[in-house]
């Protein structure tokens, strides 16, 4: 069983101690925080070290490439939503720079896995509750490329299929980089946890994640099953894992929230989420995130009891 946690901060002594106490065997950290010494120590103890790469997100892209800021069908610029700055996934310079970044990580970091995050069209999906989430992107880059490659108006099944193909093409390019490196690096993808039959097919129509299309290129899917943030019961975690496994035929590593957001997260509810997420057909579970778990002794103890049991 994969017993994993997402690390939002650089690894320090307290983090290493928590990893040991929880008996974790797979760590996912931000690529910017990669520490070769800590990675070697973890790998020597039989633990996998993976890094996360955030892709189509970030205010810095808006500043460097103003035309990378997504536009709605009415031509309106996408607003900042809390901390989230969505980025057009078809901006040529953004795609080129991100692929170069991924290539550098593959070439220089002794890692066991690479996770693609924000590999999708823009949406602050955690806060979506209605049946009509806003759709992006209708910028000049997207429209020109679609009309060149497909033709017609940006609407309907052809438009949705094209959007999904753009995301899948980027993932395929990353897979090709891994394959050409000759290294054994697993490729993971963080998946928006919307079901195919909800929100009028928004997982493909809005997000651009077609899991059947992505599956040939991906080793591990990580649905971001944050039941509290998404205002769902804990049972929702297990049904999502089963459905994604059925769609992809690939190992599923669901992420569950460790933080009490937006409301309380009682220990028994957290323990139930952990139990449901790690049950088959899941390949394991990923705690999102370790720092928040370290700050709550009761939830930490509950996690340790299950993961070491």
Q: List, for residues 177-233, the tens digit of each pLDDT value.
A: 999 999 999 999 999 999 999 999 999 999 999 999 999 999 999 999 999 999 999
Q: Give the closest residue to 85 by CA, choosing from 136, 129, 34.
A: 136
Same domain, 238 and 181: no
Q: What pLDDT is recorded for position 128? A: 86
pLDDT of residue 132: 82
Helix axes 235-248, 267-278, angle to 10 degrees: 20
pLDDT single digits (tens) 246-257? 999 999 999 999
pLDDT of residue 309: 85
- For residue 131, pLDDT over 90 is answered with no
Q: Which residues contact 274 (CB under 8 A, 6 or more apart)?
A: 256, 285, 287, 302, 303, 306, 307
- Locus of tokens 């973890």: 42
189, 266: one domain: no
What is the per-residue pLDDT for 276? Answer: 99
pLDDT at 299 over 80: yes
* Tens digit of each residue's pLDDT (9 = 90 or more) over 258-269: 999 999 999 999
For residues 199 and 309, what is the distance between their CA atoms, to the nearest angstrom?
39
Asked whether residue 199 is assigned to any structural domain, the reply reads no
Whole-prediction pTM: 0.98
In a domain, 1, yes or no: yes
Q: Which domain holds residue 4?
A: 1-54+223-309
Beta bridge partners of 255: 224, 286
Query: Total domain count for the chain?
Result: 2
Kindly state the average pLDDT of the residues 20-31.
99
Phi and psi of 114, rounded to 5°?
-135, 125
One domain, residues 258 and 300: yes
Q: Are residues 49 and 131 in the same domain?
A: no
Residues 145, 121 share a domain: yes
Residues 97 and 151 in one domain: yes
Percent of the chain with pLDDT over 90: 98
Q: Which of 153, 183, 218 is the last residue of a domain?
A: 218
Task: Flag whether 290 is in a domain.
Answer: yes
> Same structural domain for residues 231 and 303?
yes
Order across the sheet with 48-54: list the strands: 220-223, 186-191, 113-117, 48-54, 26-30, 2-7, 284-288, 255-257
Tracing tokens 């090709």 back to the chain, one arrives at 176
User: Please, what is the average pLDDT of the chain?
Assistant: 98
Block residue for tokens 């997982």 = 203
Average pLDDT over residues 51-62: 99
DSSP state, 224? Answer: B
Q: Are residues 273 and 307 in the same domain?
A: yes
Query: Both 169 and 95 in a single domain?
Result: yes
Domain assignment present for 250:
yes
pLDDT of residue 26: 99
Is the residue at 75 inside a domain? yes
| pLDDT attached to residue 220 | 99
Do 231 and 209 lie in a common domain? no
In the chain, beta strands by DSSP E: 2-7, 26-30, 48-54, 113-117, 186-191, 220-223, 255-257, 284-288
Assign residue 186 the CATH number of its domain.
3.20.20.80
Residues 209 and 116 in one domain: yes
Residue 48 lies in a domain: yes
Q: d(Cα 154, Cα 211) in Å, to the nearest integer?
A: 22
Same domain, 244 and 299: yes
198: in domain: no
Q: Is residue 291 in a domain? A: yes
């Amino acid at each position: 069983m994969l017993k994993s946690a997402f690390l939002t901060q650089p690894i320090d002594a307290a983090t290493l101690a928590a990893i040991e106490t929880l008996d974790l065997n797979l760590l996912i950290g931000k690529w910017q925080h990669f520490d070769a010494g800590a990675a070697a120590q973890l790998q020597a103890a039989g633990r996998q070290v993976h890094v996360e790469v955030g892709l189509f997100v970030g205010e810095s892209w808006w500043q460097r490439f103003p035309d990378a800021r997504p536009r709605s069908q009415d031509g309106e610029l996408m607003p900042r939503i809390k901390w989230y700055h969505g980025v057009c996934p078809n901006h040529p310079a953004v795609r080129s720079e991100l692929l170069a970044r991924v290539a550098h990580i593959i070439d220089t970091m002794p890692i066991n896995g690479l996770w693609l995050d924000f590999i999708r069209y823009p949406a602050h999906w955690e806060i979506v509750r209605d049946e009509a989430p806003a759709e992006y992107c209708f910028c000049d880059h997207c429209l020109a490329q679609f009309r060149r490659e497909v033709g017609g108006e940006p609407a309907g099944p052809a438009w949705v299929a094209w959007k999904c193909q753009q995301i899948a093409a980027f993932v395929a390019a990353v897979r090709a980089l891994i394959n050409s490196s000759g290294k054994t690096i697993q490729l993971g993808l963080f998946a928006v946890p919307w079901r195919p039959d909800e929100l009028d097919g928004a997982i493909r129509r809005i997000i651009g994640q077609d899991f059947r299309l992505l599956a040939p290129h991906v080793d591990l899917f990580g649905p971001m099953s944050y039941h509290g943030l998404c205002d769902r019961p804990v049972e929702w975690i297990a049904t999502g894992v089963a459905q994604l496994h059925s769609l992809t035929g690939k190992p599923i590593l669901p992420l569950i929230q460790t933080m009490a957001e937006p409301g309380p997260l009682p220990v028994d509810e957290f323990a139930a989420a952990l139990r449901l997420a790690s049950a088959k057909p899941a390949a394991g579970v990923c705690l999102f995130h370790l720092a928040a778990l370290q700050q709550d002794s009761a939830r930490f103890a509950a996690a340790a009891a299950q993961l070491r049991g």
